[in-house]
Amino acid sequence: MTDAPVLLSLQNITKRFGPLIANNAISLDLHRGEILALLGENGAGKTTLMNILFGHYVQDEGDVCVLGDDGALATLPPGSPGAALKAGIGMVHQHFALAENLTGLANIRLGTEPLLSFGRESAARAKVRKIITESGLDVDLDRRVADLTVGEKQRIEILKALYRDAKVLILDEPTAVLTPQEAEGLFVVLRRLAENGLGVIFISHKLGEVLSVSHRILVLRAGTKAGELVTAQADRRAIADLMVGKTVAEVVRVPAAPGKILLEFDNVSLQSGGRQALSRVNLQLRAGEVVGLAGVSGNGQSGIAALISGLAVPNSGAMRLYGQDVTRASPRDLVNAGVARMPEDRQHDGVVGTMSVADNIAIEDVRSPAFSKMGLLDRKAMRERATAAIAGYDVRCPGPDAEARLLSGGNVQKLILARVLERDPRVILANQPTRGLDVGAQAEVHRRILAARDRGAAVLVISEDLDELFALADRFLVAHAGEVSDAGPSDGLDRGTIGLMMAGQARPPVGIAS
């Protein structure tokens, strides 16, 4: 592989954001026909590096060099996406840049031709067709992008880059939005593109897919190059350690010792947006037990989360906390009663982006004597709590006064964990607790949840990730079409049964009482 000519070379790229060094003297070479994986935790500097390469950011030091038509490496002017495009660098962002109201073909042509161009469509179509045949990127070019699936939109994005004669294709977290089958399809395409001579940079924090698709792996950690290895010789464990910089302890779950019922739903029904979100749901959360709620998204999980968060009131039925009725309790009532809630959409519901880290950590408790006296905020106490939380939960941020919007997704989740777990809650709702988090952060969140369980908290984990549920849950519930059925203890339960119940096909095992 390494005998192939170098297509792209990054030389000692350094980029600082204020006191934070996002990239510290990073160098990499990409060869023709190679798939290079850029692996790292959230906030390791992967996206920053690619944004410099593509000209969205200007590096403080270092050069980006691309193989020119004359066979020599030429330095790209920094901060010019136009120059990067012209030099044959194509980028597929995590969030697509497509005009939803235009067809796939129109999106591919967009920006490549003068404003008034007639009769060129057939030529363009022929070129795209040829690319499709060569790459296997099959997609209907004449449908509006709005009507395409996420996977198809991604294909349009890749075609867009190839149509502009990309020599280097950069994909930023391409599988984050794909189903496992779609992701497999993408890998097939990428391998084929590489065989045809393209250089591919594949950004990811998922170890498994990196191992299956790449030729070479570059690991970034905290802005520096932590290691570079050939995939065929790489060991999963070693890479994980390189990524997080320390040995990742496997989370071990000891058997639960369920105590008394802390939170109980009694025949709860909920209407939301004109449809029946929950119908006659019964569930019990016991002290010292993690209950996993599995289900395909949109089968009533958000209704249960809204009820436990105090954001909705059931249309019928009752909700009891420690035996007391909390059916109509407000979010503040529940928080004060010792319920910890982690929202599904943490950026939207979890933090006020324009307020500081300290403010966001104190937000549930501003009225408590810990943070205010006679209506006046105790800024010192808030800052102290935040400083302790930043250290204790490893929230990476410039400090307690930094605005929360500057934090990455994983760090926002750690902030929320610090906020809710430091109150020593008795009931915990963890809704998609590790969605979008990297390995290190995931293990940390799991460890914290299990530690809370061992202290006697009752935990409900809602997740679409079965691996996560099997790692955490002592008992399984499955949501389907607004009904929740009990799948029993997780020991001895197999995925097949859960899968069938998620599809609404199987009855719960008989004879298992909650």
Partner 1 sequence: MSLRLEPRDNASVGLKLGVSLAAGLIALLLVAIPVLFAGGSPLNAYGLMLQGAFGSMFALSETLNRATPLILTGLACAVAFRAKLWNIGAEGQLYIGALAAVCVGSGLLQLPPALMIPTVMIAGFLAGGLMMVIPTIIKQRFGADEVVITLLLNFVVILFIQMLIEGVLKDPMALGWPQSVPLIAEAKLPKLLPRLRMHWGLIVGLVAALILWLMVRKTVLGFEIRAVGENKAAARFAGIPVDATMLKVALISGGLAGLAGVGEVAGVKGYLSSDLSPGFGYSGIVVAMLAGLSPIGTVIAAVFVAAVFVGADSMSRATGISSYIADLVVALSLLCVLVGSFFLRFRVKFERRQVEA
What minimum distance in Å lies between the beta carbon of 349 and partner 1?
4
Of 264 and 359, nearer to partner 1 (C-beta) is 359
What minimum distance in Å lies between the beta carbon of 353 and partner 1?
7
What minimum distance in Å lies between the beta carbon of 223 and partner 1?
17
What is the contact mask toward partner 1 in residues 15 to 44, using x (rule: CB under 8 A)? --xx--------------------------
Q: Which stretch binds partner 1 (CB under 8 A): 30-38, 208-216, 242-250, 364-372?
A: 364-372
For the chain, helix, strand, coil in percent to 5 are 35, 25, 40
Of 77 and 298, nearer to partner 1 (C-beta) is 77
In the list 366, 370, 466, 506, the residue contacting partner 1 (rule: CB under 8 A) is 366
| 264 contributes a contact to partner 1 by CB under 8 A | no
3-class secondary-structure state, position 313: coil
Of 321 and 478, nearer to partner 1 (C-beta) is 321
Interior CA angle at 377 toward 374 and 382, to 5°?
135
Long-range contacts of 222-225 (CB under 8 A, 24+ apart): 222/43, 222/44, 222/45, 223/20, 223/21, 223/22, 223/23, 223/24, 223/26, 223/44, 223/45, 224/24, 224/25, 224/26, 224/45, 225/26, 225/27, 225/28
What is the rounded distance in angstroms from the CA atom of residue 430 to the CA atom of residue 292?
Answer: 10
In the list 353, 409, 508, 509, the residue contacting partner 1 (rule: CB under 8 A) is 353
What is the rounded distance in angstroms from the CA atom of residue 445 to the CA atom of residue 439?
Answer: 10
| 426 contributes a contact to partner 1 by CB under 8 A | no
Of 78 and 227, nearer to partner 1 (C-beta) is 78
What is the contact mask toward partner 1 in residues 379 to 398, using x (rule: CB under 8 A)? x-------------------
| 222 contributes a contact to partner 1 by CB under 8 A | no
Dig out the tokens for 477 from the structure.
Answer: 């519930």
Of 17 and 384, nearer to partner 1 (C-beta) is 17
What minimum distance in Å lies between the beta carbon of 398 and partner 1?
9
Q: Which of 389, 467, 466 is nearest to 421 (CA)?
A: 389
| 335 contributes a contact to partner 1 by CB under 8 A | yes
**Number of residues located near partner 1, criterion CB under 8 A:** 42
| 328 contributes a contact to partner 1 by CB under 8 A | no
The half-sphere exposure of 455 on its side-chain side, counting CA atoms within 13 A, is 15
Q: Which stretch binds partner 1 (CB under 8 A): 90-98, 294-302, 334-342, 502-510?
A: 334-342
CB 155 within 8 A of CB 103: no
CB 285 within 8 A of CB 263: yes
Of 191 and 379, nearer to partner 1 (C-beta) is 379
Q: Which stretch binds partner 1 (CB under 8 A): 103-111, 151-159, 292-300, 335-343?
A: 335-343
Of 279 and 356, nearer to partner 1 (C-beta) is 356
In the list 224, 372, 497, 514, the residue contacting partner 1 (rule: CB under 8 A) is 372
DSSP character for 348?
Answer: I
- Please return the burial class of 9, using the count of CB atoms within 10 Å of its CB with bins 0-12, 13-18 and 19+: middle
What minimum distance in Å lies between the beta carbon of 461 and partner 1?
18
Restricting to residues 52-111, name those near partner 1 by CB under 8 A: 57-58, 74-75, 77-80
| 313 contributes a contact to partner 1 by CB under 8 A | no
Of 228 and 403, nearer to partner 1 (C-beta) is 403
What is the rounded distance in angstroms from the CA atom of residue 292 to the CA atom of residue 223?
Answer: 36
In the list 355, 370, 466, 506, the residue contacting partner 1 (rule: CB under 8 A) is 355
CB 247 within 8 A of CB 262: no
Of 63 and 241, nearer to partner 1 (C-beta) is 63
Of 6 and 363, nearer to partner 1 (C-beta) is 363
In the list 228, 349, 394, 483, the residue contacting partner 1 (rule: CB under 8 A) is 349
| 227 contributes a contact to partner 1 by CB under 8 A | no
Dig out the tokens for 174 from the structure.
Answer: 């391409």
In the list 180, 375, 496, 511, the residue contacting partner 1 (rule: CB under 8 A) is 375
DSSP character for 346?
Answer: I
Of 82 and 496, nearer to partner 1 (C-beta) is 82
In the list 166, 217, 351, 427, the residue contacting partner 1 (rule: CB under 8 A) is 351
Q: Which of 294, 371, 302 is nearest to 343 (CA)?
A: 302
The half-sphere exposure of 484 on its side-chain side, counting CA atoms within 13 A, is 29
CA distances from 166 to 57, 88, 123, 476 (A): 20, 4, 18, 48
In the list 21, 222, 248, 406, the residue contacting partner 1 (rule: CB under 8 A) is 406
CB 103 within 8 A of CB 143: yes
* Cβ count near 479 (within 10 Å): 26
Interior CA angle at 93 toward 20 and 239, to 5°?
60
What minimum distance in Å lies between the beta carbon of 202 and partner 1?
27
Of 195 and 333, nearer to partner 1 (C-beta) is 333
What is the rounded distance in angstroms from the CA atom of residue 215 to the CA atom of residue 31?
Answer: 11
Interface residues with partner 1 (CB under 8 A)?
A: 17-18, 57-58, 74-75, 77-80, 309-311, 330-336, 341, 343, 348-355, 359, 363-364, 366-367, 372, 375-377, 379, 403, 406
